[in-house]
């Protein structure tokens, strides 16, 4: 069964990452599925971050820092660190020992819902899991099964940016 066109349009039409999709002939539904809560539990590194053409990006906003890690816990708490410089082992250990920054859940549509401490707004990201390896033909960038694609609209009608997360080895659950 094919996934509904709106989801495909959401991801393809945004043109955020051609590198996460195989040749145009291959259907998105063949390489992804909606996230489930169990998919996210653990420690993750943001390996790619891209903005849609014309999207406003404030590089001083930690959401757009080039180095980021998330830790999603079974008890629905989350930790996040963002840095302008590479995250070291010591930084990661500090993240694991810090107080949780908020809570998270996955809704029935597979969207990631984040409620950060001290914020009134709920962050919603379309969340997909890659189920097959995908290699972008021009740059030979590999996306692996299990990688997570988070697409954020930030209240806009069209997607504004996407993060690709890859699970880290070791502690974090």
pLDDT of amino acid 172: 56
Residue 51 above 50 pLDDT? Answer: yes
pLDDT of amino acid 173: 56
- Specify the CATH number for the domain of residue 162: 2.40.128
> 159 falls in which pLDDT band (50, 70, 90)?
low
Mean per-residue pLDDT, 100-117: 94
> 27 falls in which pLDDT band (50, 70, 90)?
low
Residue 73 above 70 pLDDT? Answer: yes
pLDDT of amino acid 50: 84
> 56 falls in which pLDDT band (50, 70, 90)?
confident
Give the global pTM: 0.79
Asked if residue 22 belongs to a domain, the reply is no
> 105 falls in which pLDDT band (50, 70, 90)?
very high
Domain count, the chain: 1
Q: What are the tens digits of pLDDT across the range 80-99?
A: 999 999 999 999 888 889 88
Asked if residue 89 belongs to a domain, the reply is yes
Asked if residue 72 belongs to a domain, the reply is yes
Range of 9's domain?
5-17+28-167
Q: What is the Cα–Cα distance from 97 to 145, expressed in whole angstroms?
A: 29
Q: Tell me the average pLDDT of the chain.
A: 80
Give me the phi and psi of 160, to 5 degrees please. -105, -40
DSSP 114-140: EEETT--SPEEEEEEEE-S-EE-TTT-
Asked if residue 56 belongs to a domain, the reply is yes
> 41 falls in which pLDDT band (50, 70, 90)?
very high
Other C-beta atoms within 10 Å of 89: how many?
8
Asked if residue 85 belongs to a domain, the reply is yes
The percentage of the chain sitting over the pLDDT mark of 70, rounded to a whole number, equals 79
Q: What is the Cα–Cα distance from 1 to 91, expressed in whole angstroms?
A: 44
């Amino acid at each position: 069964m094919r996934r509904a066109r709106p989801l495909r349009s959401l991801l393809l039409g945004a043109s955020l990452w051609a590198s996460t999709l195989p040749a145009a002939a291959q259907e998105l539904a063949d390489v992804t599925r909606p996230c489930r809560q169990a998919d996210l539990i653990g420690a993750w590194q943001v390996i790619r971050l891209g903005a849609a053409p014309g999207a406003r990006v404030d590089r001083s906003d930690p959401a757009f820092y080039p180095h980021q890690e998330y830790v999603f816990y079974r008890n629905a708490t989350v930790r996040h660190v963002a840095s302008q410089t590479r995250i070291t082992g010591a930084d990661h250990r500090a993240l694991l020992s810090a107080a949780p920054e908020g809570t998270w859940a996955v809704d029935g549509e597979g969207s990631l819902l984040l409620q950060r401490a001290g914020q009134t707004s709920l962050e919603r990201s379309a969340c997909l899991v890659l189920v097959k390896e995908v290699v972008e033909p021009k740059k030979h960038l590999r996306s692996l099964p299990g990688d997570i694609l988070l697409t954020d609209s930030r209240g806009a009608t069209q997607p504004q940016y996407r993060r690709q997360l890859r699970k880290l080895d070791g502690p974090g659950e």
